[in-house]
Amino acid sequence: MRPEDRRAAEHDCARLIALYANLNDEARWDEVAALYAEDGVMYRPTAPDVGVEGREAILAAFKARPPRTTRHVCSNVVIDVEGPATARGTSAMLLFTSEGAPLVGSFHDRFCLTPDGWRFAERRGSLIFK
C-alpha cells in the first residue's frame, strides 16, 4: 500500500469517528446508521456485551432511545490500516448528558471499505468511569 493511500484511509476512518459523534449528538439517526456497513455490528458503551447487528437493527436501536441532549467528545484517535479495504481504530470518548455526570470510555473500531467509502464494520464501546 502506498503511503498516501494509507494516510487517506487513516483520515477517512478518523473522520467517521468524529462524524459519528456529531450526528449522534444531533439525533440524525438515519445518517448515523449509514456510517455502518450493511452487516455492521454496534456494541454500545453502556452494553458492551450486547451486539446490535445490521444497519437496519442499528437504526431501530437509535430510534428507540428516549430523546436526550448529549455532547460526545472523541480524542486520542489512532487508526491502523491493515490492508487496502480493512482498518482498526481506537479512540477515547467523553460523553456529557443533561442527565448526570460525564461518562468516560473508549471505542475499538473495525472499518471496511465499501462502494460508498469507509464504514464501521464493528464499533465496540466500553466505559472506564461511570
56-74, pLDDT tens digit by residue?
Answer: 999 999 999 999 899 999 9
Q: 113 and 127 in contact (C-beta within 8 Å)?
A: no
- CATH, residue 71: 3.10.450.50
pLDDT exceeds 80 at position 4:
yes
Residue 32: count of CB within 10 angstroms of its CB: 22
Q: Domain span at residue 85?
A: 3-129
pLDDT exceeds 80 at position 95:
yes
Note the pLDDT of residue 37: 98
Q: 36 and 62 in contact (C-beta within 8 Å)?
A: no
pLDDT exceeds 80 at position 130:
no
Q: How many domains in the chain?
A: 1
Q: 46 and 127 in contact (C-beta within 8 Å)?
A: yes
- Using one digit for the tens of pLDDT, what is the confidence trace for 17-50? 999 999 999 999 999 999 999 999 999 998 999 9
Choice among 5-14, 50-59, 80-89, 94-103 with the minimum mean pLDDT = 94-103
Residue-averaged pLDDT of the chain: 95
Give one DSSP letter per residue of 71-90, joined into a string: EEEEEEEEEEEEETTEEEEE
